Structure 1
Amino acid sequence: METTSMKETSSEPSASPRIRRAQRVALALLVVSGAVNYLDRGTLAVANASIRGDLGLSMGQMGVLLSAFSWSYALCQLPMGGLADRIGPRRLLGAGLILWSLAQAAGGLVATFGWFIVARIALGIGEAPQFPSAARVVSNWFPLRERGTPTGIFNAASPLGTALAPLVLSILVVSFSWRWAFIATGAAGIVVALVWFALYRDPERSRLSVDECRYLDAGAERGVIAPKVTFADWRELFSHVTTWGMLIGFFGSVYLNWVYLTWLPAYLTTERHMSLLRTGFAASVPFFCGFIGALSAGWFSDLITRGSRNAVASRRNAAVVAMLGMVAFTIPAALAQSNTVAIACISVVIFLANAASACSWALATAAAPPNRVASLGSIQNFGGFIGGSLAPIVTGFIAQKWSFVPALLTAAAIAFIGAMAYLLLVRKPIPEQSAHAAAAAPSGEAPAAQS
């Protein structure tokens, strides 16, 4: 019979070589799938001018096409967290990879505007599981105290993929055609899906030792079982000002970020008169800066939180400062005559945009009750991608009627409103009292004050 001393029991468990190997494989696959995810959604932006010329689309129609992905992606965000918990990230993300890769390849075969919209909607549905599944993978394979760094790593895949898109895809578009850019990236996604199914395993399907289980459970509360979240609990989140502040705030942050994500290559070729190959290099620089921003933001947010008594205020303030920086540097990016100055300012904006996004996700963990972190995070992300859906449309029509300068200034104003929503509305955490508890209270008893 195995015996364990009290000293050994209280000591902090460490990861076994098998756990470390599984962590490295999981993170590597998440970074690769996340980069392909953003490479696929960025193909339309890189091939913007070629597609408009080939299909005879106006700037306004291209704005609608650029936003079609975001609408389906936003609407599918809310159920994906529950699906990742129910069926596991291996099956959910694997199925999503196959669906979005087929939709991406179909984009290279379409001949009409309508069918292109259908392909982009399918792409949004397929890509929706990526980040909820990634969060679940980190929760599965990393103990509570070690989840910050892997979360920053898988989030950094989004600017990495966006940075690679103009470098890789502009060569494909120039050397072959925009259709081959879609087909090649779709084929790459199928390969990644096969590798994902071959190498990744959810830990509940692995035979873990007692010490390995102790390591993965380290830092989790013991003896406290959070009640299961009901629809009433989820709906009750909307009765709090904090929820609306986060939803509106992320709307502004993602709106400005998605103006650059969807229109930057076209802006550089149309407004700045750069060649497609030069645009491919110039458009990649800001997103490599965003990659650094995503990696560093989680660490910085943790740093300032350690010196603060109010975790919500410190996380919120980090997001607000980053968003105000986005606003400040977008103005010279729009007005500067020098292409070099414009690219430098845009690089700072994208760095701060990815930092703001990481801080906003960290805010959800501080503001939500423990059993509703994913629910609050998905509501915030839903608001963000409503902004991401509107940004390409509004930008396209403003650029078509006037120019990109008022489009960028409009986006900066919307981001400023979002920063103020965070600052003024997100004041305190949402109380743990559930909708069930509120319903069970005596009818004459006043409800608790809401945040």
Structure 2
Amino acid sequence: METTYSHGQTQATGKRHRLLAMLFVTVVITYLDRSNLSIAATAIGQDLQLDPAQMGLVFSAFGWSYALLQIPGGILVDRTRPRLLLALIIGLWSLATLLQGFASAFAMLLSLRVLLGALEAPAYPTLNRVVTTWFPDNERARAIASYTSGQYVGLAFLTPALVLTQEHFGWQGVFFLTGAIGLGWALVWYSLYREPSEAADVNAAELEIIRAGGGLIELGEAGKTDQADQAGQTGYRQRTRYTAADWRAVLGNRKLWGVYIGQIAVTSTLWFFLTWFPTYLVKYRHMDFLKAGFMAAVPFLAAFVGILGSGLLSDWMIRRGVSATVARKVPIVTGLLLSTAIVGANYVDTPAMVILFMAIAFFGSGFSSITWVLVSSMAKKELLGLTGGMFNLMGNLSSICVPVVIGFIVKNSDFKPALMFMSAVGVVGALSYLFLVGKIERIR
């Protein structure tokens, strides 16, 4: 049921729903710049004479800095408003993307991927901060699912476009195009985004819906103090430093560790598809490059359906009175178990069956990808950035490990052990949610 209320005689505006389009486009761009390498990988490997182990290192280079800088990135989110921060980092990482088109050696390409990861590090904590500010609790899973789906649907429709770009302009054209798109979007974001209390096209009725439903509008309000919050008001002050108690809240909580381990599993499947999947189809399943590029879109569409379905299901369960613990865990655990279907590709020969098992696995990955809602629901509200940074750091350890591990596993030209490894990771993630993550509630 849509949340449409009136405040007195005034109908609430729907600014927060329109904002989702901006968040969606931002996610599409972040993942274009992460995955463009996978499209160009075969051609780059040939031009720069890279073996699978070296290619694995290049694939993982983004993750080295991206994961390690999640904590500094989260701290930056707690201290900087998203309008300026996101515009700045989008512009800078898009420039790093464009420069990859000029890479002429392994070291140069590796360095630019590390730089890209560093600049993208604050992106998801910033998006989570925006959605926590703009959306009430009973809309948050759908909101997160809607913008996060950009990592799947954008790639599903744009992967064929990038394949055609490479066919006509070489692998360098892939980086030039994706970099230019990001530079333009940085200007659009800065021009259009405002905090809830500053947006000209949002009225008091909508602000009341957000505030009454648990949306933290005070994150975007200047001049509020922690003392006001302690007095029962909705005040908030940006953090200027973190205490030992803050770090214990983020690192010493069993529930959060269960979420962290589970997130490693969720993102592991994603990073397989963002890195090795096109190479797997072309080099190890011997598909034509153009055909593989178009068939690769099918699992991304399946993941898109998965994440939208999980967000709708989870919020529907919340509205039906199901506990947050059950409503949030059911899609995540189910999705992780479905992601283990990736191993089925080892036992089929036809391209259609290979794509079917890959689509089931990626659907599962998408179905489990509402995990950011747990940060919104469990983190101390004054530590959203820090908790989000830690969550993303843990989850993106997979961006470091998965490409490298697969690169070394397949060095002998056998990809089957790599898919067995991916399936095992999904099982570990499901067990983490079942046995480590207890009741889902905000940490006090």
TM-score range, shorter chain: 0.7 to 0.9
Looking at structure 2, the residues matched to 36 and 51 of structure 1 have their Cα atoms a distance apart, in angstroms, of 22
Distance apart, 1:320 and its partner CA: 1.5
Alignment gaps of 5+ in structure 1 = 1-7, 434-451
Distance apart, 1:12 and its partner CA: 9.5
RMSD over aligned Cα, in angstroms? 2.7
Measured at CA, do residues 216 and 414 of structure 1 come closer, stay the same or move farther in structure 2, by a change above 3 Å? closer
Distance apart, 1:66 and its partner CA: 0.4
Question: Residue 42 of structure 1 contacts residue 165 of structure 1 at CA under 8 Å; is this kept in 2?
Answer: no
Task: Indicate the SS of the match to 1:147.
Answer: helix
1:410 to 404, 421, 435: 421
Counterpart check, 1:378 vs 2:389: yes
Looking at structure 2, the residues matched to 423 and 201 of structure 1 have their Cα atoms a distance apart, in angstroms, of 39
Distance apart, 1:225 and its partner CA: 5.3
Counterpart check, 1:295 vs 2:308: yes
Aligned residue in 1 for 2:29: 36
Counterpart check, 1:123 vs 2:84: no
User: How many residues are aligned here?
Assistant: 420
Counterpart check, 1:260 vs 2:286: no
Question: Residue 12 of structure 1 contacts residue 218 of structure 1 at CA under 8 Å; is this kept in 2?
Answer: no
Aligned residue in 2 for 1:149: 142
Looking at structure 2, the residues matched to 205 and 411 of structure 1 have their Cα atoms a distance apart, in angstroms, of 45
User: After the TM superposition, which residues 124-273 of structure 1 pair with which residues of structure 2 at under 5 Å, given as runs?
Assistant: 124-206=117-199, 210-211=204-205, 213-220=207-214, 223-224=232-233, 230-237=242-249, 238-273=251-286
Distance apart, 1:87 and its partner CA: 2.1
After TM superposition, what 4+ stretches of structure 1 lie above 6 angstroms from structure 2? Answer: 226-229
Looking at structure 1, the residues matched to 310 and 318 of structure 2 have their Cα atoms a distance apart, in angstroms, of 12
Q: 1:261-300 CA deviation, whole Å, 9 max, x = no partner? A: 2111000001111111101101111101111212121121
Looking at structure 2, the residues matched to 33 and 227 of structure 1 have their Cα atoms a distance apart, in angstroms, of 27
2:405 to 394, 398, 401: 394
Counterpart check, 1:84 vs 2:53: no
User: After the TM superposition, which residues 4-23 of structure 1 pair with which residues of structure 2 at under 5 Å, given as runs?
Assistant: 14-16=11-13, 20=14, 22-23=15-16
Q: 1:346-389 CA deviation, whole Å, 9 max, x = no partner? A: 1111111011121x223334444555455444323221100222
**Stretch moving more, 330-339 or 215-224:** 215-224
Aligned residue in 2 for 1:61: 54
Task: Indicate the SS of the match to 1:242.
Answer: helix
Work out the percentage of aligned pairs sharing the same amino acid. 33
Task: Indicate the SS of the match to 1:428.
Answer: coil
Looking at structure 2, the residues matched to 331 and 209 of structure 1 have their Cα atoms a distance apart, in angstroms, of 51
Structure whose alpha-carbon radius of gyration is higher: 1
Aligned residue identity for 2:248: E
Aligned residue identity for 1:412: S
Task: Indicate the SS of the match to 1:120.
Answer: helix
Q: 1:47-104 CA deviation, whole Å, 9 max, x = no partner? A: 1110000000000000000011112111222233443343211111101111111000
Task: Indicate the SS of the match to 1:349.
Answer: helix
Measured at CA, do residues 15 and 211 of structure 1 come closer, stay the same or move farther in structure 2, by a change above 3 Å? closer
Alignment gaps of 5+ in structure 2 = 216-228
